[in-house]
Structure 1
Amino acid sequence: MIQVHHLHKRFARKVAVEDVSFTIPRGEIVGYLGPNGAGKSTTIKVLTGLLVPDSGAVTVGGLVPWKQRRQHVARLGAVFGQRTTLWWDLPVQESLALLRHIYRVPAGRFAENLAHFTELLELGPFLGTPARSLSLGQRMRADLAAALLHDPELLFLDEPTVGLDVVAKERIREFVRAVNAERGVTVLLTTHDLGDVERLSRRVMMIDVGRLLFDGPLAQLQAQYGGERELWVEFEQTPARSDVAGLRVLASCGPRLRYGFRGPAAEPIARVTALAPVRDITVREPDIEATIRRIYEGGLLHTPS
Structure 2
Amino acid sequence: MNTFGRFFRVTTFGESHGPAIGAVVDGVPPGLPLSAGDIQPMLDRRRPGGPLASPRKEPDAVEILSGVFEGRTTGTPIALLIRNRDVRSGDYDALRDVFRPGHADYTYLQKYGLRDHRGGGRSSGRETAARVAAGAVAVAVLKTHGTAVAGSVREVHGKTDPAEMEAEVRAAQARGDSVGGIVEVRASGVPPGLGSPVFDKLDAAIAGALMGIGAVKGVEIGEGFAAARFYGSENNDAMDASGFLSNHAGGVLGGISTGQEIVVRLAVKPTPSIALPQRTVDIHGEEREIIIAGRHDPCIAFRLVPVAEAMLALVLVDAVLEQEMYGGQAPE
- TM-score of the pair, normalised by structure 1: 0.30
Higher RCO by CA contacts (8 Å cutoff, separation 6 or greater): 2
TM-score, normalisation: structure 2:
0.28
Which protein is richer in strand relative to its size?
Answer: 1
- The structure number with the bigger radius of gyration is 1
